[in-house]
Every structure is written in structure tokens, then in C-alpha cells.
């Protein structure tokens, strides 16, 4: 091959990279692919979701703590990682919803929010980009904004007239949405657990998914990566303020997950190379193009 393959995953907050596509990244790193995670915000307004980490000194220094957690997760996964530098918008709650904090990521013009991402694309030169769908995977303002800036950056990074001060143009070849929590996956896990007479820790989660109205993206690409589940889980545990190590994320043994649903799943949105779906490889069509 004339050059190494490169994969970029664009996420809203620290911990998102470890709960969505982490095993995929670990697999590709093992195969020699270079992987960069771009984290759009610092997660400064995130809640502390692990009761054991609810301490005043952590809450008062949450931005620094979450950066340290990201460092540990990055080392576990073996990825490169950089922050885009924007401020977490928080998840508004109430009826009516309160306005978002002034100057936060989700309030910015898309062109402004995409600028550092364009620069990252031009510097790293990824062949494949992963991001969220138009609903953000779930409707957090930062996730939705991450979708918007990712699409804009993908479409403009190769344009020499766009962002002329952000590096030499580079056009990624493919863009995917994460299909992180398809209902079929939880149904398969439920069946596998029932066959063994085990309780289903995802029962409430499945109910919420069924009731939630959101786009159901076709799975065009299934990446087999079950042998990297423990690496992904270790990276997720590194985000100790966000994940309870005794919670449902880790309640199903990896061997059951591997049997019931051994893939992480994606929807192909953009491709400038020839490929046929369904795919088993995010670099389908890219490998051939890079060899030429």
C-alpha cells in the first residue's frame, strides 16, 4: 500500500468514543490503521453518573477530571485524540426548556463550529470519517451539532476555496453514521439471556427505544470486533465520572454479546469510491483506491 489507512471518529464529549465504536477502533488499530478521535467539547457540563465519584473536589474540577479520563481511555484504545476546544452545551431539562448557555458549542454557527474539524481533517487526512446521525444518536444539543459540523466539514475540507487558513485541502472518501444501539441488537441479547435463564438488564432500555420516535438507519456495514469488547469496556470504565462500573453497561458477559451480536454497526452516508452494501469493512473500496 502506498500509504497507511486512516480513520477519524468525531464525538461530542469525552466518553462518547468509548461507548460508540470503541471495539471497531481497537480492531483497526490492531490491523495497522491510524485512528484519530476528535472530541468537540470538554464535557464541562456533564452530570456525574457514577455515585462513587460524586465528591465536591471532582465536581469543582470536572473539566480537568474529564480530560484526565479521556487521556486514560485514549491510552487504552491506542488512538490519537484531540479536543476541538468548544464548551459543552449541557442537556436542557424542564418545560419549557431553558435556553442554552451563551457561547456554548450548540449555539454557534455551523461554519464556525466546523472550522477546527476542517483543520483536523486536513492535518490528519482521514480516508473514513465516523459521526452521528441528524438526531445525534440521541437528541443532546452537542450531539446534533456534532452531526451538523461533521457533515459540513466532510463536504468542505476538500474545497480549496473554503477555510483557506485551515490547511491544505483533503477530501475524505467515506462518511458513516454510528448505528450504536439498534433495537435488533437488544432483542438478540434478550433472546440469548433468556435461553440461559438470565435476567435482561436492558429491559427498561429496550422499552424506551421502542417508545422513542427517531430515524431508524439501515445497517449497511457490520464490523466484526467482538474480540475487542474487553478493550472497549476498559476504555469506558476509564470515564469513571460517567459510567458506573457496576451498572448495566457491563452486566452481560462478553461471551454472550459475542455470540448474540458480534458486530458494531454503521450506516454509509457518503462515498466517493465504489463499494457494495452490505459491507463488512469501513474501508471497503478505500483499500483499492489507496493502492492505485
Feature table: binding site for Zn(2+)? 13, 16, 143
Instruction: Using alpha carbons, select from 67, 66, 104 the residue that is nearest to residue 87.
Output: 104
CA 16 to CA 191: how far, in whole Å?
Answer: 27
Provide the 3-class DSSP secondary structure of residue 272: coil
* Residue 76: half-sphere exposure toward Cβ, Cα within 13 Å: 23
- DSSP secondary structure string, 116-132? HHHHHHHHH--SEEEE-
CA distance 15 to 41: 11
Close Cβ partners of 209 (under 8 Å, ≥ 6 residues apart): 181, 183, 186
Residue corresponding to grid cell 458480534: 262
Binding-site annotation, residues: 13, 16, 143
Q: Within 10 A of 207 (CB to CB), how many other CB atoms are there?
A: 11
Q: Angle at Cα 130 formed by Cα 129 and Cα 131, nearest 5°?
A: 125
Amino acid at each position: 500500500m502506498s500509504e497507511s489507512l486512516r480513520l477519524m471518529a468525531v464525538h461530542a464529549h469525552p466518553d462518547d468514543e468509548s461507548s460508540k465504536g470503541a471495539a471497531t477502533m481497537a480492531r483497526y488499530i490492531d490491523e495497522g490503521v491510524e485512528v484519530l478521535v476528535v472530541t468537540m467539547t470538554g464535557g464541562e457540563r456533564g452530570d456525574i453518573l457514577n455515585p462513587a465519584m460524586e465528591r465536591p473536589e471532582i465536581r469543582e474540577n470536572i473539566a480537568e477530571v474529564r480530560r484526565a479520563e479521556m487521556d486514560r481511555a485514549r491510552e487504552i484504545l491506542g488512538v490519537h485524540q484531540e479536543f476541538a476546544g468548544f464548551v459543552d452545551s449541557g442537556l436542557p431539562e424542564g418545560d419549557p426548556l431553558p435556553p442554552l448557555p451563551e457561547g456554548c458549542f450548540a449555539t454557534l454557527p455551523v461554519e464556525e463550529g466546523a472550522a477546527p474539524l476542517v483543520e483536523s481533517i486536513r492535518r490528519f487526512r482521514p480516508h473514513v470519517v465516523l459521526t452521528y446521525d441528524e438526531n445525534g444518536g440521541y437528541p443532546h444539543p452537542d450531539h446534533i451539532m456534532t452531526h451538523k459540523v461533521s457533515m459540513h466539514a466532510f463536504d468542505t475540507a476538500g474545497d480549496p476555496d473554503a477555510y483557506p487558513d485551515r490547511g491544505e485541502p483533503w477530501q475524505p472518501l467515506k462518511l458513516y453514521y454510528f448505528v450504536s444501539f439498534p433495537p435488533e441488537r437488544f432483542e438478540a441479547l434478550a433472546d440469548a439471556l433468556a435461553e440461559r435463564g438470565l435476567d435482561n438488564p436492558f429491559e427498561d432500555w429496550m422499552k424506551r427505544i421502542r417508545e422513542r420516535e427517531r430515524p431508524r438507519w439501515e445497517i449497511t456495514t457490520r464490523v466484526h470486533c467482538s474480540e475487542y469488547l474487553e478493550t472497549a469496556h476498559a476504555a469506558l470504565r476509564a470515564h469513571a465520572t460517567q459510567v458506573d462500573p457496576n451498572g448495566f453497561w457491563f452486566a452481560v458477559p462478553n461471551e454472550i454479546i459475542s455470540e448474540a451480536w458480534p458486530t458494531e454497526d454503521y450506516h454509509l452516508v457518503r462515498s466517493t469510491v465504489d463499494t457494495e452494501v452490505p459491507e463488512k469493512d469501513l474501508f471497503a473500496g478505500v483499500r483499492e483506491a489507496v493502492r492505485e
